[in-house]
Structure 1
Amino acid sequence: MTHPPATPSAPSPIDRLALAVATEPERAVNPFMSAPSGAREEAMRFLLQTGAEAGVRMIATQPSGDGERLLGQAWPFPSPFRVTVRTVALSEGLDRVEARARRSLERLGLPRGEALLVDNAADLAGAEGRALWDRLQALKARGLFRSIGFCATIEDGPALLARRLEADVVQIACNLLDQRAAAEGVLDEIKSVGAEVHLSSVFAGGLLFAGGDDLPPHLADHAQALSRTRRRLAERRCDPMQAALAYVFSLETVDRVVASVASAAEMRAILAAAHAPCPDLNWSELALEAPAAFTADARIRISSAA
């Protein structure tokens, strides 16, 4: 008796989720800020274990702060995670960039990383850009990183840069409020040159969750538009986190969605929102009409991967 072939199950959104653990004061409540050392390590261990048990397999790191050391002391054993590392600024010098990338692996307690990303695409466009890229290629050739790439905003011309450098990975900001990278075909262009697409700033730097009184002065003009977006979501019974994740996971060209998380409780909230069914929404009507205005500080939000 023959049986029909099994229908493959749809991939879980968690398969595409990467975590950027926030250990700096980027949250109103952050267990890594005020707790004693032992408690901080335990909080990190609990967060990572929560993610691992849910199927998360990638962690995105940055060299600032104490995050790399905390991660290195808290990995579950055996660790299921692959790790992306970011460079320090080119202004610190080529030797410093290379040494700090190596140091990141040491602090993380890892023999190799999944990807090494230039923190600012503008560093690659300057006079020392080619020399910087050569350093990254050398680290990849030595087996310290499986792939290399860069972090960018839409203004950096990331697809052209990825094509010129033959980059393996491009991390770029895109979210429900600023959909330009998707709407203007930038994500498709990046993918077409053979690079993986990693999305950052998926929660719009926290703007989706901020009330009018919480907005910084230079964003006050957007209070009404943000309120309108939240009202539309409420009418469809879809909370902002659920909508933010549903939007980025709907983008087929995206390989990884980098979500910032500061605690196991936030981790559980992200997991629940990622799995929750979201009603059909008109994504374009939820975006800000002039997103460039609120993304003037996008580089900061890329750094926090929020």
Structure 2
Amino acid sequence: MTNLSASADKAAPIDRLAIAVVTEPERVRGAVISAPAGAREDAMRFLLQTAADAGVRTVATKPQGDAERLLGQAWPFPSPFGVTVRTVGLAEGADRVEARARRSLERLGLPRGDVLLVSSAADLLGAEGRALWSRLEGLKAKGLFRRLGFCASAEEAADGLARRLGADVVQVGCNLLDQRAARSGLLDRIAQTGAEVHLSSVFARGLLFAGGEDLPAHMADQAQGLSRMRRRLAEGRCDPMQAALAYAFSLPAVDKVIASVSSAAELRAVIAAAHAPCPNLDWSSLALDAPAAIATDARRYRISSAA
């Protein structure tokens, strides 16, 4: 069994919680992005104020959709948030990567960001990777970003790359259903390089909340595993959101746990779940037998328990 005391030396859950505002259509019914045009800024402002009042201090963004612009119009003043910005892919060219990172700050209405993350570790492994990193170091040297890092998957040797580049932050996907990054020791090895570990996909892209009828064809054979996971959580009197966050916070190498939210209501549910006590569960028994299938699923599921 994994005991939550393993992370006793870490900060309280709310201090480790980060948020990412989600804009996928299937997640935003009645939420920030789907609100009438005149109300979207107010909805975003309410979401951010709810986060600030609760003690959340990190907001993660992506260079897509209208979220950056909405965030830029809605920051509380003074803003308590450190903002993480992600690059576009290197396939668009190094010039575009650098220009879009600058543009993200403009859209966000910020003179500088906290972290700039290369959107894929693969972009740093090829012939252009070192040159790309040098460009981003130039942005850091100019004070546009305080720290640099990259996003990686469980299959990538992110610890070696972090050590070679001197990365400040590495963002890795890991969750209750797909525990590979934790089980392999990858998260611990990244932390040993001195980089902060930021955990993404903590709700398994919403799969934790999906009913059997919602599963795509390639995930159909995981229905039994999902049903088993829910049954064990019910027996332990722990709901999926509560368990997902408790598992993430139990990992001692993790500095930030990124929860995606599309409304203040979802955020309140996440905050409540983060504070709720969870029984000492055998986390390993809750993982899917074929967790890699989650990463290939492009769909996102609504967090119904937070609606």
The Cα of 1:296 is off from its aligned counterpart by 2.9
SS of 1:155's equivalent?
coil
- Asked if 1:288 is matched to 2:288, the reply is yes
Rounded Cα–Cα distance in structure 1 between residues aligned with 2:193 and 2:9: 29
- Asked if 1:72 is matched to 2:89, the reply is no
The Cα of 1:31 is off from its aligned counterpart by 1.9
The Cα of 1:28 is off from its aligned counterpart by 5.6
The Cα of 1:289 is off from its aligned counterpart by 1.9
Rounded Cα–Cα distance in structure 2 between residues aligned with 1:298 and 1:14: 29
Runs of 4+ in 1 over 6 A off after TM superposition: 298-301
Match for residue 150 of structure 2?
150
- Asked if 1:136 is matched to 2:136, the reply is yes
Rounded Cα–Cα distance in structure 2 between residues aligned with 1:192 and 1:30: 42
The Cα of 1:263 is off from its aligned counterpart by 0.2
The Cα of 1:242 is off from its aligned counterpart by 0.2
Letter matched to residue 77 of structure 2: F
Q: 1:191 to 1:205 in 2, by over 3 A?
A: same
Letter matched to residue 60 of structure 2: A
Q: Is the 8 A contact 1:23 1:30 kept in 2?
A: no
The Cα of 1:38 is off from its aligned counterpart by 2.0
Letter matched to residue 292 of structure 1: A
The Cα of 1:251 is off from its aligned counterpart by 0.7
Q: Is the 8 A contact 2:10 2:252 kept in 1?
A: no
Q: Is the 8 A contact 1:24 1:65 kept in 2?
A: no
The Cα of 1:154 is off from its aligned counterpart by 1.4
TM-score (norm 2): 0.92
Higher RCO (CA < 8 A, seq sep 6+):
2
The Cα of 1:32 is off from its aligned counterpart by 3.0
Letter matched to residue 191 of structure 2: K
Rounded Cα–Cα distance in structure 2 between residues aligned with 1:9 and 1:183: 20
Rounded Cα–Cα distance in structure 1 between residues aligned with 2:50 and 2:273: 15
Q: Is the 8 A contact 1:173 1:298 kept in 2?
A: no
Match for residue 218 of structure 1?
218
SS of 2:59's equivalent?
strand
Rounded Cα–Cα distance in structure 2 between residues aligned with 1:185 and 1:109: 38
Match for residue 304 of structure 1?
none
- Asked if 1:91 is matched to 2:91, the reply is yes
How many corresponding residue pairs? 294
Rounded Cα–Cα distance in structure 2 between residues aligned with 1:9 and 1:195: 17
Question: Counterparts in 2 of 1:20-35, with a 5 A limit?
Answer: 20-27=20-27, 29-35=29-35
Which deviates the most, 155-164 or 256-265?
155-164
Q: Is the 8 A contact 1:153 1:299 kept in 2?
A: no
| Unaligned runs of at least 5 residues, structure 1 | 1-7, 302-306
- Asked if 1:39 is matched to 2:30, the reply is no
Rounded Cα–Cα distance in structure 2 between residues aligned with 1:145 and 1:105: 9
The Cα of 1:126 is off from its aligned counterpart by 1.3
Match for residue 172 of structure 2?
172
SS of 1:202's equivalent?
coil
SS of 2:96's equivalent?
helix
Question: Counterparts in 2 of 1:122-271, with a 5 A limit?
Answer: 122-271=122-271
SS of 1:156's equivalent?
coil
Q: Is the 8 A contact 2:61 2:68 kept in 1?
A: yes
Rounded Cα–Cα distance in structure 1 between residues aligned with 2:152 and 2:298: 9
SS of 2:258's equivalent?
strand
Rounded Cα–Cα distance in structure 2 between residues aligned with 1:77 and 1:176: 36
The Cα of 1:183 is off from its aligned counterpart by 1.0
Match for residue 3 of structure 1?
none
The Cα of 1:293 is off from its aligned counterpart by 2.8
Q: 1:274 to 1:157 in 2, by over 3 A?
A: same
The Cα of 1:11 is off from its aligned counterpart by 3.6
Rounded Cα–Cα distance in structure 2 between residues aligned with 1:10 and 1:290: 30
The Cα of 1:252 is off from its aligned counterpart by 1.1
- Asked if 1:120 is matched to 2:120, the reply is yes
Letter matched to residue 116 of structure 2: L
The Cα of 1:164 is off from its aligned counterpart by 1.2
Rounded Cα–Cα distance in structure 2 between residues aligned with 1:258 and 1:74: 20
SS of 1:31's equivalent?
coil
Rounded Cα–Cα distance in structure 2 between residues aligned with 1:298 and 1:252: 29
Rounded Cα–Cα distance in structure 2 between residues aligned with 1:180 and 1:29: 32
Rounded Cα–Cα distance in structure 1 between residues aligned with 2:150 and 2:33: 29
SS of 1:32's equivalent?
coil
Which deviates the most, 32-41 or 251-260?
32-41
Q: Is the 8 A contact 1:61 1:83 kept in 2?
A: yes
Q: 1:32 to 1:166 in 2, by over 3 A?
A: same
Letter matched to residue 274 of structure 1: A
The Cα of 1:180 is off from its aligned counterpart by 1.0
